[in-house]
Chains A and B, each alone.
Chain A
């Protein structure tokens, strides 16, 4: 079945550093979504991408829909303590419109 490979699995960074994570697949997707999940809560949508090559920003977050439609990345600039959490990528499959999630990237910020 279709899978999303999200990397890295976890990251330890210093406050103020930039962060980059990505998702790749052997299958193409129509839509890429990036979510953040805090403990005990549901994922919250950060950025949605609907067109190949699209680059979208939301504050300090920037995400791109890969030109091949098989990948996407998320960058966070100048990280702050509240960025801690698990980040998920998700793709909408063109064949049957299912949302497939990556396994998540757990972001830790060192004091």
Chain B
């Protein structure tokens, strides 16, 4: 079965812009989590969605938001981009909090 699909794979944006990243989970998975990965901070939890509701949230500013659609696909939005937002953004899906499967990520570069 198809894995977790993240689009786009690479993105370059300028400071102040906003960006939307997309994640399609494995078919049947209802939980989607988002993570930011940077060399200095490692993998940091952004938020988790389950059945279109945000179930959990990490310690990121309000510029980071997300949503989940009825088909479990999820989008993450970052507004007013800063240089420090450059990172690999990963999403992971699971049936319900077990055996999370990650996508290949979206590499965001803010210039």
What range describes how many residues of A lie at the interface? 20 to 34
Among A15-23, A64-72, A101-109, which stretch is in contact with chain B? Answer: A101-109
Of A41, A96, A98, A104, the most chain B CB neighbours within 10 A belong to A98
Interface size on B, residues (CB 8 A): 24
| Contact A88/B43 with A42-B90, A43-B90 known, Cβ cut-off 8 Å | yes
Report Cα–Cα, A88/B103, bound state, in Å.
Answer: 16
Knowing A42-B90, A43-B90, say if A99 contacts B105 (CB, 8 Å). no
User: Residue of A at shortest CB range from B107?
Assistant: A40
Cβ-defined contact, A45 with B104, below 8 A: no
Q: B interface vs A, CB < 8 Å? A: 4, 6, 33, 35, 42-45, 48, 55-56, 58-59, 90, 92, 97-105
Interface residues in chain A, defined as those with a beta carbon under 8 Å from any beta carbon in chain B:
1, 31, 33, 35, 40-45, 48, 50, 88, 90, 92, 96-104
